[in-house]
């Protein structure tokens, strides 16, 4: 059943584009915030090209039911730790603050497996700092998705992801039980799990590892049948 309005940040990325391929069938209207002019072949999608430095100016667009944040970059792409932190911490946090102020029903975001403010790794620390700040906001529902390595059809070459995609079919059968969360996960599966989480009606904070994301994606499909 299609209901309400959703807002998506990071809609042009690997997970974001998988989300876009599905989300338009679940909502009457989908608003996308993008840093560049893009077109999408979906009937009910409204794309706003914005400068993320001035997200505050677009506060009115956050008057929606569900917000999905798939923003992210790499230090290689961003070219500095500061620029990386802006995309992976400052912008998502700003989006969450605007979502809380708009009293949205849910805010669903991808961070990463191993996120921790105490991590020795800069990447995981940035994600962990973000999670801590998000949990302090007055959001009705906060869904934090912590995937393992993401695989999918990415244009850009990323050695780690390409290698994982190659060995995944060999490795995955060995990663069972408590190790299942370490198995690489398809971007499409993450997008389905995000939809399931946002539409679950659950309040409060929920954090999901890859093994749970697979179950949620399957449940979304079951609900559709």
Ligand X SMILES: NC(=O)c1ccc[n+]([C@@H]2O[C@H](COP(=O)([O-])OP(=O)(O)OC[C@H]3O[C@@H](n4cnc5c(N)ncnc54)[C@H](OP(=O)(O)O)[C@@H]3O)[C@@H](O)[C@H]2O)c1
Report the interface residues with ligand X, using CB under 6 A. Answer: 10-16, 35-36, 52, 70-73, 87-88, 110, 112, 147, 149-150, 161
- Closest Cα to residue 94, out of 143, 51, 146? 51
Length of the chain: 225
Measured distance CA(129)–CA(117) in Å, rounded:
5
Q: Where are the alpha helices (DSSP H) in 111-150?
A: 122-135
CB of 225 to ligand X, least distance (A): 27
CB of 199 to ligand X, least distance (A): 20
By beta-carbon proximity to ligand X, the closer residue of 46 and 223 is 46
Taking CB positions, which residue lies at the least distance from ligand X? 13
CB of 116 to ligand X, least distance (A): 14
By beta-carbon proximity to ligand X, the closer residue of 72 and 128 is 72
By beta-carbon proximity to ligand X, the closer residue of 3 and 166 is 166
* 147 neighbors 188 (Cβ within 8 angstroms): no
By beta-carbon proximity to ligand X, the closer residue of 128 and 147 is 147
CB of 93 to ligand X, least distance (A): 13
What is the C-alpha radius of gyration for the chain, rounded to an integer number of angstroms? 17
CB of 162 to ligand X, least distance (A): 11
Find tokens 């500061």 and name the residue: 82
Q: Where are the alpha helices (DSSP H) in 24-136?
A: 75-78, 81-85, 91-101, 122-135
Neighbours of 89 (CB within 10 A): 18
By beta-carbon proximity to ligand X, the closer residue of 31 and 87 is 87
């Amino acid at each position: 059943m299609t209901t309400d309005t959703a807002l998506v940040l990071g809609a042009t990325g690997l997970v974001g584009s998988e989300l876009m391929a599905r989300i338009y069938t679940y909502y009457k209207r989908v608003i996308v915030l993008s840093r560049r002019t893009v077109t999408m072949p979906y009937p009910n999608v409204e794309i706003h090209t914005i400068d993320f430095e001035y997200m505050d100016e677009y506060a009115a667009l956050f008057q929606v039911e569900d917000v999905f944040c798939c923003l992210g970059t790499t230090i290689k792409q961003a070219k500095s730790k500061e620029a990386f932190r802006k995309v992976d911490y400052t912008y998502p946090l700003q989006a969450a603050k605007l979502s809380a102020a708009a009293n949205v029903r849910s805010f669903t975001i991808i961070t990463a497996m191993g996120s921790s403010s105490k991590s020795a790794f800069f990447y995981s620390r940035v994600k962990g700092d973000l999670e801590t700040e998000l949990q302090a906001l007055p959001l009705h529902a906060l869904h934090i998705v912590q995937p393992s390595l993401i695989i999918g059809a990415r244009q850009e070459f990323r050695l780690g992801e390409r290698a994982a995609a190659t060995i995944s079919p060999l490795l995955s059968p060995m990663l069972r039980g408590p190790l299942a969360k370490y198995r690489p996960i398809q971007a499409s599966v993450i997008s389905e799990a995000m939809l399931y989480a946002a539409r679950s009606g659950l309040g409060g904070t929920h954090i999901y590892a890859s093994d749970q994301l697979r179950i949620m994606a399957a449940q979304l499909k079951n609900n559709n049948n």
